[in-house]
Amino acid sequence: MRCHNLRSLKSVFCTEPEKKAVLASETNLLEAIREGDETAFEMIFKEYYQSLCRYANSFLSDREEAEEVVQASFIGIWEKRNTLQINTSLKAYLYQAIRNRCLNVIKHEKVKQQHAQHQVVMMPNHDEATADTVLSNELEKKIYLAMQALPEQCRLVFKLSRFEELKYQEIADQLNISVKTVENQIGKALKIMREQLREYLPIILLLFNGLLV
């Protein structure tokens, strides 16, 4: 990560050989992502996430919406990693993608305002903004479904731990079980949910900090 941060700070001063080295490094990262390398994906996410959020916010003037746009973009990249094709620099590709999505959000909002009395009818070729919403909601639905697949006590212990943020002793006291049982149930829940959500695990680990660890 430090190499990539240094690259971002000094890219404008790079010599031609240095620029070629940067492109080669990006090519390796993208190839690794296409092969499902979670570490490579995490590197790109951490490298660009904050700056992309600021860029999106410059269009939308809404920090939460800006973050949703950026998160949906990264979800889309991971989901389509096998066919991902980038002909420009990685940085240029990401910023252009965010710009396009923000413009679509703005356009979508204008349509909603013009038809406030009716819900906008979505045609087959709907906006990417709609796709963003679907992608964001899809991850939450998958987490919910994975939780529903847990045994009852296991699910309850997991909810109390991860969503109500109770300590193991507090959970044990509330359910009248031992702390060791709580630990076992949490371990069981994590194993099942990681298996259920393995396709989305890199994104969940980044966006839902602490949920599956």
Residue 98 maps to a domain: yes
Q: For residue 45, give the amino acid letter.
A: F
DSSP-assigned states of every residue in 133-158: HHHHHHHHHHHHHHHHTS-HHHHHHH
Residue 111: per-residue pLDDT? 61
Give yes or no: residues 99 and 6 share one domain.
yes
Q: For residue 189, give the amino acid letter.
A: A
Average pLDDT score over residue span 174-179: 90
Structural domain containing residue 174? 136-213
Q: How does pLDDT run across 101-151, given as a tens digit for each residue? A: 998 888 877 666 654 444 444 444 445 445 455 555 777 888 888 888 899
Q: Are 101 and 73 in contact (CB under 8 A)?
A: yes
Domain harbouring 92, CATH code:
1.10.1740.10
Q: Are 78 and 203 in contact (CB under 8 A)?
A: yes
Give yes or no: residues 110 and 163 share one domain.
no
Q: For residue 191, give the amino acid letter.
A: K
Higher-pLDDT residue of 164 and 15 is: 164
Higher-pLDDT residue of 178 and 3 is: 178
Residue 155 maps to a domain: yes
- Tokens at 136, concatenated: 């964001």
* pLDDT tier, 83 (very low <50, low <70, confident <90, very high otherwise): confident
* pLDDT tier, 45 (very low <50, low <70, confident <90, very high otherwise): very high
pLDDT at 91 over 70: yes
| Candidate from 20-29, 88-97, 192-201 with smallest mean pLDDT | 20-29
Residue 6: per-residue pLDDT? 31
In Å, how far are 29, 117, 205, 207, 213 from 210, measured between CA atoms? 26, 41, 7, 9, 5
Give me the numbers of helices (H) and strands (E) for the chain, helices first please: 10, 0
Q: Are 44 and 33 in contact (CB under 8 A)?
A: yes
- Tokens at 106, concatenated: 């703005």
- Tokens at 72, concatenated: 């949906």
Number of structural domains the chain divides into: 2
What Rg do the C-alpha atoms of the chain give, in angstroms? 21
Residue 124 maps to a domain: no
* pLDDT tier, 67 (very low <50, low <70, confident <90, very high otherwise): very high
Element (H, E) at 24: helix 16-34
Residue 118: per-residue pLDDT? 43
Counted residue by residue, the chain has a size of 213
Give yes or no: residues 38 and 107 share one domain.
yes
DSSP-assigned states of every residue in 52-107: HHHHHHHHHS-HHHHHHHHHHHHHHHHHTGGG----S-HHHHHHHHHHHHHHHHHH
pTM: 0.54
Give yes or no: residues 187 and 94 share one domain.
no
Q: Are 154 and 185 in contact (CB under 8 A)?
A: yes
- Across all residues in the chain, what is the average pLDDT? 78
**Among candidates 161, 104, 165, which has minimal Cα distance to 131?**
104
Q: Are 66 and 60 in contact (CB under 8 A)?
A: yes
